[in-house]
Structure formats: C-alpha cells, structure tokens
Amino acid sequence: MTTQKFSAISAPYKAILLDSYGVLRNHRGLIPGVVETVERLRKEGKVIRVLTNNAARSPEAAAKNLVKYGLHGIPAEEIITSGATTRHFLTHKIQAGKVAYLGTPQSAEYIFSAGLEAVAVADVDMARLDEIKAVAFLDDEGYDMNHDLNKLINLLRRCQVPVVVANTDLLYPVSANDVALATGSIARLAEYVLGRRFVSFGKPASQMFQFAIDSMAGQAPDLTPADILMVGDTLHTDILGGNTFGVSTALVLSGNTQPETAELEIRSSGILPDFVCSSIGD
C-alpha cells in the first residue's frame, strides 16, 4: 500500500470535507500540521466543511471544542453534525409530542430545537407510552447500558414509533489502544433484537453529504461531486459514505485506521479509498 502526501492529494479539488476526530485531532490532541494545512487550504481558495458523526455537540460547541485544542480556523457554520440532520428529520416528520432519547442532556438540545419535548429513556413513564412520538439514539454516554437499554427495548416492543440514529459509529476510541461501543453498535443490537430497521443519519448516510453541498452553494455555486474530496479515518463511515455519494475519498492513518492494519482492513472490507495518506498534516 502506497501513501501519498495530503498536499498533493488535495490540490485538484475545490472543496474538502474533513472528518473531525482522527483527521483534525485524536487522543493525543490536535494532529501535527493541521493548523498549517487548514491555513494552506484557505489560501488556495478551497471550501472547507467538517462532517462529524458526534451528535453530542452542536456546531457552535464543536467549533469551540476545536478552538480549545488550538484550531481557530473552523467556524460553526462550516461544521455539519449528524445531530443537525436528525433535527431536520424531527422538525419535518414529528409535529408534536415527546421524543425519548439515549444520550446526554446536552445531546437532547437537537430535540428541543426541533420544537419537541425530550425525555431521557430512564425517565419515560411506561404507563404513558402514548406520549412518546419518536425515539432517538443520540450519544454514547448519559445512560445506563443495562437498565436503560433494557427499558428501551421494552418501550419499542410496545410502541410503533419512528426511531432515529444520530450517530452510526460502531466504536469510539478511549485511549491509544482501546475502544468502546458507540451509539451505532447499540442501535444495531436493538434493530437485531426487535427485527426492525431504524432511520440512520451520519456518515455513511447521504444526508450529511447533501447538507454539506447545500451549505457550500453560496461559496461555490457550480460545485459538482467531482470537485469534492472527503477525508476520513474510518472506512465504514467516512470512506464508504464518500464513495457512495460519488465524491473522491482519502483515508488518513491518524485515527481509527492504524498504519499496520490499514491494507488488511481495506482488502477485507472491500471499501476502497481513492487515496491513502498518513495525515492531513504531512
């Protein structure tokens, strides 16, 4: 497997879509060279968007978090979160009522901003399930894995309501070598047990990519998929999503996909990035 320099990879494209964790930062902090790369992309006239499956933060909070790590060049309006696409769905599909959610109180802001009432699964009154109009898987934390997940399964056995998954990631890193189950894994387990299919947002689903293109229309009205490069560290979300949407893809080895296993993972998954590079900082 041959890796290439990101500066050479990105040169022909008008727009760059960047995953956040694993591309801009990782467990060690900001990835070396990221600040300089973002500045270079700006000088070259590239349009930048950050696409993150993290539904725990609003775009404003995500931008502040990047500033905390030392990256000041990404404003909130350039960040597309899976929570924002979930909010769009809830706004148009659920007119009123309560949405039961798994996640932190902060992640429930997407429900409130859709004009709905959010109630944590732990607080749902099982005797009044007629009040629940939808269920949302929002964040990896904020609930008891045993008690709340079992309660959710029983809730969904009794309620035929829309279920949305804001974060389709299966794992998230907790240290340099260890991972934990992410929201997408919990949702898949529930789908399997219940024999149902939920509405999924976040990469690899196409909604985030379409949101990104729509948001860039003012800066680049003639933009086509051929002008766009998606950069990510995960084959099954970033690269698969970009490939499916028809944009070029670059896998970086600075996050979830490790240099020593990357070639094997590409071969075994059949998900082929157009490019592979060490990081966007090289």
pLDDT along the chain (282 residues), means of 10: 94 97 91 97 97 90 94 95 90 92 93 94 96 94 94 96 92 76 92 95 91 93 95 96 97 93 96 98 90
Cα–Cα distance list, 159 to 80, 198, 243, 276 (Å): 31, 13, 36, 45
d(C-alpha 102, C-alpha 122), whole Å: 9
Residue 148: predicted pLDDT: 96
Residue 135: predicted pLDDT: 97
What φ, ψ does residue 276 adopt, rounded to 5°? -130, 130
- Which pLDDT tens digit goes with each residue over 205-236? 998 999 999 999 999 999 999 999 999 999 99
Residue 180: predicted pLDDT: 83
Residue 95: predicted pLDDT: 84
Residue 162: predicted pLDDT: 95
Q: What is this structure's pTM? A: 0.88
Q: Is 2 exposed, middle or buried (0-12, 13-18, 19+ CB in 10 A)?
A: exposed
Residue 168: predicted pLDDT: 87
Query: What is the set of domains in the chain, with CATH numbers?
Result: 6-53+204-277 (3.40.50.1000), 84-200 (3.40.50.1000)
What φ, ψ does residue 18 adopt, rounded to 5°? -120, 130
Strand ranges of the sheet holding 275-277, from the earlier edge strand across to the other edge: 79-81, 47-52, 15-18, 228-232, 248-252, 275-277
Residue 269: predicted pLDDT: 97
Residue 48: predicted pLDDT: 98
Place of tokens 């893809």: 249
